[in-house]
Structure 1
């Protein structure tokens, strides 16, 4: 076909689209496509904005989007490069030091910051005039301290304190510091001063243990580009940090939330595809004879396909544009209604979110309209005179193209092709099983309902009279309802897991350097206040020497985290029980008292360093080489705030090694830790209450985002459900007209339709509940690391919900059918 013929076909397709729109022939398909695109784009908009907001909020724990942590100040070239990328920067220097006041001295974490600090988040400060909050920093000659220092030294605002060679006025009490939760020395009191005052203290000398930080913040693409530029520039001992690397608890929560957003996107794609597939089938089947007429007028099969293909192309562009605008309006309305929970204004959606609607429309129609469109090429001209000619046989092209289209959309929206393939593989397996079961149920209904003219039995007969359509509708509705039920199960499990990970009594204190003879004294301290002593776990330092026969070297790894891990020493422990915050992902756990040399490795560490089951690891513990085989891999709940370790061994093998002990607990009262240190002065008490509060705030916001996304997907599912039912409007109008012509009343017609729709929804819901019970449990385990539990209530919930939702969604259509004049329908008006 030449360019002129193509342009002619496109113009003809546009005119045909206009005519069909005016005649109302495309109303169902356009509405289904519009709702499908609106559902997907609203999820895309909302997911994009929520993900950006969550990342921004989590970045407040770091006071920036990206931090360069090094032993030396950042070179001027780095700041110049950041400025060239329109990124904001700030600097800090932190180190442990002594502070002197009121003839007393104590160890503090000293942090000097410049005028740009913080780039993300706010400092909350109590001054002599009241509480302030914002991007604050100490003025020259002044310092701020946290409440622990004021309490320990009996200080008041306005007192003088000395740092090194200079005295400063204490002008504020730090109530909240954005990056205080991720600082290495957050367990000791903190003092903030102006970076310009640091040289005058004389505290920074050659060999001082100072960590310099360059804070970077700005647009996400620019930050990513800056990170890529910085990576090869980093000297030895320097590292790049973002919030997910700095706090494993936040990383775990963000990863679960992003997976839920991805799951919502996949399921919204599934809902959309079901509606569009039904609408395309209805529209092209109704125009079988129109195509035959074009063939009778001399058009070739290629020309016919091009004309109708151009019509669908214009329709996809129109539906994509309108659906995208509708999707943006839906998510904007939801954000407005939830503004009191979502807090600050969310970031605007990115370009990809705006493109998701039009591209989704094109991909959907290409995948689901191309197979029946190709079948139109085989329409014979004789079909103008004989409407009873058999239609073209169906091939495997239709389901294959639909699979490719759906997989492409899901992988694009989720951003993970493997995850999308796994999810959609389960959905299509469920669809195949549902189709077989639906066919059997329709056959049974036909036998049971035959010979009866009562309303509800006549409705069941309607299902059996059109078995192919009934099976198609039931399968589509079952997949849609299963998607919504699965989302319900996962949402409840996910929020429940977050609530369990940070209960009201979550530990807020870590205790390290406890010596073996001191364990009874620690236990007695807890019994004195009526508390059960915490678990005390052994810990020793160990350096990884080799994996199998290969010596471990940092230069052998390209990943920055892997290099840092092999350069450092590990905290290694031993135990007989697996522990509540650990569960096996591969291999077998050893029995109590087992003396065989073996290791259990955390799954994330194994993935980073390339460790597999059966590998032999060698560690150096205090000059002694310990070598053993990896017999198990574990997934660790780092957000549990319990003592956890990368590598474990059995007590029967390593139990005689010298070790100190570690424990975590919730302090019974404000003075408990002070009494503990007075009794056990060598013990280090690490107050993590700041971390717990910040992580709780992030998780609460994540839970609200999950709730909002669930509501949005539920509304999208209802709209798509209504669009799917609207595809059978003409068939039901014809049935109702015949019944009315034969003397049936509107009430009788309504009872027939209600019986048909209720049976259709109930059966689809029953199958959906069974599928959601299985798929939801697998998704919870595979994607969210939740326990495998089968919810036996789901089939019954699906049965009731399916019947109710289908009837409610079809009620406007039902009213239209019962009020339409039989004469108009039978005349074809």
Structure 2
């Protein structure tokens, strides 16, 4: 009964506190925090789903089973049972005949329903381009411009495909999954799979790549993948858009990290607002707790009462904040329709649970630990009119840190990344607190004679230095987030987009023989093109790591197993390739011939290779063994020639090697590749323009989505700044009332408030500029593998922004305090 009575009393107290306005600021701060987090969660969830769908268009499906044999009927039946849509393609090279000419073409037989994602674009005989989801009708075919030009065909004429004559129904402008095949350099011809048998081209031993395309709901696709993975035939693999193209995987990974940085800063802003609101609430309820102790409640019972009150607030604020967050992202979705398109997929159920849960976690981590001090409030404290802090032990900061780490990992999706960012944030907080304390100490000792407003402002800051430090720290966090989300965001996105510049290579040439290198260079010079950088390439198989034989079956990860089965392209060079960065170890010195390897970091992580390991490669029957002396991060989206494993020049040069290069071929020189192959028939020229265009489109869409996300976090940061300023309302009210009682005019008080706001804003803004400068430089290099850059304009911009933002956020609220009667204020505060 006593426990039920205590709960009833806690609920009555919560209702009374709410009606009296005591819980308004805490509820508002918590609701703003939840709204900020859930709006980011809702919107990022919808954006990520939309981007995944758009990226899936590059595969023409959500999932692809790629193999050298058609998928079994059991695989198709299981997919249909799960409600998935299916289509199939078969790709192989062969000769196309027309007008007495024979041209090598890449044939692609597609089934009904192709493509499952994205659209094909076909130009008819009148020059009209039609887009949609359909396959060529039986008896017809599409071919691209290259093949049509070489054969001299027009729409309506016929082409011989093996033993079948097909009518050209249109010129293929775009196929969704055409860009996913790196060797889609041979002119393409697409026809209906119903005509495949009649062509007679597919026989036993034919080199055909069969792809089973699958599309459906994410849960159904994930379930089918989990079912299919352990049943894959040998030489078959599952592909999604990230696994199929490393360039697209890099773009999506960078987008996730950008969104994770946004979510992390939102969590930090939310925590700052709640911590300030909790401090204000406890400061105003020190004496009521003493009264309850005088009435017979034990310290534990008092703690339980107020814990119940705050948990009730967390539940209410969590629901209200979640609904508000959903409304904010709805409004933002309409605003961003021009950027990300209409018809974003609906959000999942997880953000709806995340809102109330995050409210409870925030309050449990930041409010309940300080409440432990209430258990030690003596009844005699009823005679004291001030907040007396007590020691809370090491549990309080550890619990708060764990809460922030959990929420950050929840939003970022990576515990390690969240921990790294959180550590940097706490380092920033400690540095800001130390610098703010030092600046305040200097200001108190400077022999300055400012006007009355400035003198009173400095006196107010000096009288409560810890309050000024806490306020400066909170405002610095908010301003640092705002600067990061505006200026640094622009710099990072601009640098990201520059990593895929307009002059990125769009053509590869492979199979260059050693004695052809000078001839190839001469061919470039004759065409007025820059000489390319030729890289050697040797086929090798990884056979041992630290003396142990590499067995593909020992790897549980599908990608690791495929990498262990395949042959690698090894290269050698003296200098670090452009677009590569050594993340561990050191690159070898110029002229070094010491046997050693440099391994791409992603490959090393997948296969469990560490710095200092000894690798053994089989090259044409000869075993080459050496240590790994460096790990490299490679910009796969640069479209330069890149290698997983590189050795020093001079060690492997005795082995037979071919050479490879990539270069930018301008439109005016579109016939250069044909002339190069005519001069050197053994060369293979690969046009990756389609891949480049698709990846650039993905990067552009991701950039616009990220800008939208940052705009939302920017608005949340301004709201949290207001909550931080509101937390000092009582102290300011007391100061203003006392000054009014001593004869200060409203004009003097106005100057005092503006001077204090400007001073705190300038200090907080300057420190925030330093933090944003460091975060931008470190995050760009460590998180996104972008070149190191620093924007020194952040320092004056931070100070100016701090003054403007703090005055704009605080003055409308503080201006109302000037109208309050001094007698009423002194009675109530």
- What's the TM-score, normalizing by structure 1? 0.96
- Give the conservation status (yes or no) of the 8 Å contact 1:449–1:460: no
Partner of 1:62: 59
Tell me: CA distance 1:452–1:77, structure 2 relative to 1, closer, same or farther (3 Å): same
C-alpha offsets along residues 253-274 of structure 1, whole Å, 9 cap, x if unaligned?
Answer: 1101101111111110000000
**Secondary structure of 1:544's match?**
strand
Partner of 2:289: 291
Looking at structure 1, the residues matched to 89 and 180 of structure 2 have their Cα atoms a distance apart, in angstroms, of 14
Partner of 1:30: 27
- Give the C-alpha shift of residue 15 in structure 1: 2.3
**Secondary structure of 2:96's match?**
strand
- Give the conservation status (yes or no) of the 8 Å contact 1:111–1:192: yes
C-alpha offsets along residues 403-445 of structure 1, whole Å, 9 cap, x if unaligned?
Answer: 1111111111111111111111121122122222222222333
Looking at structure 1, the residues matched to 583 and 385 of structure 2 have their Cα atoms a distance apart, in angstroms, of 61
2:50 to 50, 53, 66: 53
1:224 maps onto 2:250 in alignment: no
Tell me: CA distance 1:272–1:389, structure 2 relative to 1, closer, same or farther (3 Å): closer
- Give the conservation status (yes or no) of the 8 Å contact 2:254–2:784: yes
Looking at structure 2, the residues matched to 789 and 487 of structure 1 have their Cα atoms a distance apart, in angstroms, of 16
For 1:409-808, list aligned pairs within 5 A: 409-448=407-446, 454-488=452-486, 490-668=488-666, 669-808=669-808
**Secondary structure of 2:52's match?**
helix
Tell me: CA distance 1:745–1:786, structure 2 relative to 1, closer, same or farther (3 Å): same
**Secondary structure of 1:207's match?**
coil
Looking at structure 1, the residues matched to 630 and 309 of structure 2 have their Cα atoms a distance apart, in angstroms, of 59
Looking at structure 2, the residues matched to 768 and 414 of structure 1 have their Cα atoms a distance apart, in angstroms, of 22
Tell me: CA distance 1:564–1:390, structure 2 relative to 1, closer, same or farther (3 Å): closer
**Secondary structure of 1:653's match?**
coil
Looking at structure 2, the residues matched to 390 and 426 of structure 1 have their Cα atoms a distance apart, in angstroms, of 31
Looking at structure 1, the residues matched to 318 and 416 of structure 2 have their Cα atoms a distance apart, in angstroms, of 27
Partner of 1:78: 75
- Stretch moving more, 49-58 or 817-826: 817-826
- Give the C-alpha shift of residue 696 in structure 1: 0.6
- Give the conservation status (yes or no) of the 8 Å contact 2:492–2:776: no
Looking at structure 2, the residues matched to 294 and 712 of structure 1 have their Cα atoms a distance apart, in angstroms, of 43
C-alpha offsets along residues 205-246 of structure 1, whole Å, 9 cap, x if unaligned?
Answer: 111111111111222222222111111000100101011111
Q: What is the RMSD of the two structures over their aligned residues, measured on CA atoms?
A: 1.9
1:41 to 38, 51, 69: 38
- Give the C-alpha shift of residue 5 in structure 1: 4.2
- Give the C-alpha shift of residue 14 in structure 1: 2.6
- Give the conservation status (yes or no) of the 8 Å contact 1:457–1:755: no
Looking at structure 2, the residues matched to 583 and 392 of structure 1 have their Cα atoms a distance apart, in angstroms, of 51
Partner of 2:102: 105
1:148 to 146, 160, 165: 146
Looking at structure 1, the residues matched to 795 and 450 of structure 2 have their Cα atoms a distance apart, in angstroms, of 29
Looking at structure 2, the residues matched to 292 and 258 of structure 1 have their Cα atoms a distance apart, in angstroms, of 50
C-alpha offsets along residues 8-62 of structure 1, whole Å, 9 cap, x if unaligned?
Answer: 4333333222222221111111111111111111111121111111111111101
Tell me: CA distance 1:108–1:185, structure 2 relative to 1, closer, same or farther (3 Å): farther
**Secondary structure of 1:73's match?**
coil
- Give the conservation status (yes or no) of the 8 Å contact 2:283–2:386: no
Gaps of 5+ in 2: none
Partner of 1:268: 266
Tell me: CA distance 1:394–1:796, structure 2 relative to 1, closer, same or farther (3 Å): farther
1:235 maps onto 2:229 in alignment: no
- Give the conservation status (yes or no) of the 8 Å contact 1:126–1:172: yes
**Secondary structure of 1:319's match?**
helix
Looking at structure 2, the residues matched to 415 and 341 of structure 1 have their Cα atoms a distance apart, in angstroms, of 25
**Secondary structure of 1:285's match?**
helix
**Secondary structure of 2:516's match?**
helix
Looking at structure 2, the residues matched to 752 and 32 of structure 1 have their Cα atoms a distance apart, in angstroms, of 27
1:14 maps onto 2:11 in alignment: yes
Partner of 2:194: 196
2:277 to 273, 276, 279: 279
Looking at structure 1, the residues matched to 250 and 577 of structure 2 have their Cα atoms a distance apart, in angstroms, of 18
C-alpha offsets along residues 260-300 of structure 1, whole Å, 9 cap, x if unaligned?
Answer: 11111111000000010000110121011112222222222
**Secondary structure of 1:321's match?**
helix
- What's the TM-score, normalizing by structure 2? 0.96
Looking at structure 1, the residues matched to 306 and 184 of structure 2 have their Cα atoms a distance apart, in angstroms, of 68
**Secondary structure of 2:618's match?**
strand
- Give the conservation status (yes or no) of the 8 Å contact 2:67–2:235: yes
- Give the conservation status (yes or no) of the 8 Å contact 2:125–2:154: no
Looking at structure 2, the residues matched to 449 and 8 of structure 1 have their Cα atoms a distance apart, in angstroms, of 60
Looking at structure 2, the residues matched to 6 and 155 of structure 1 have their Cα atoms a distance apart, in angstroms, of 89
- Give the C-alpha shift of residue 451 in structure 1: 8.2
1:361 to 356, 359, 362: 359
Looking at structure 1, the residues matched to 96 and 43 of structure 2 have their Cα atoms a distance apart, in angstroms, of 49
C-alpha offsets along residues 641-671 of structure 1, whole Å, 9 cap, x if unaligned?
Answer: 0111111111122233322111111223222
1:209 maps onto 2:207 in alignment: yes
- Stretch moving more, 519-528 or 601-610: 519-528
Looking at structure 1, the residues matched to 386 and 41 of structure 2 have their Cα atoms a distance apart, in angstroms, of 45
1:827 maps onto 2:827 in alignment: yes
Tell me: CA distance 1:388–1:515, structure 2 relative to 1, closer, same or farther (3 Å): closer
- Give the conservation status (yes or no) of the 8 Å contact 1:766–1:799: yes
- Give the conservation status (yes or no) of the 8 Å contact 2:141–2:191: yes
- Give the conservation status (yes or no) of the 8 Å contact 2:547–2:616: no
Looking at structure 1, the residues matched to 4 and 201 of structure 2 have their Cα atoms a distance apart, in angstroms, of 78
2:304 to 303, 306, 310: 306
- Give the conservation status (yes or no) of the 8 Å contact 1:594–1:653: no
- Give the C-alpha shift of residue 740 in structure 1: 2.5
- Stretch moving more, 459-468 or 640-649: 459-468
Looking at structure 2, the residues matched to 46 and 313 of structure 1 have their Cα atoms a distance apart, in angstroms, of 27
Partner of 1:124: 121
- Stretch moving more, 581-590 or 82-91: 82-91
**Secondary structure of 1:652's match?**
coil
**Secondary structure of 1:377's match?**
helix
- Give the C-alpha shift of residue 398 in structure 1: 2.7
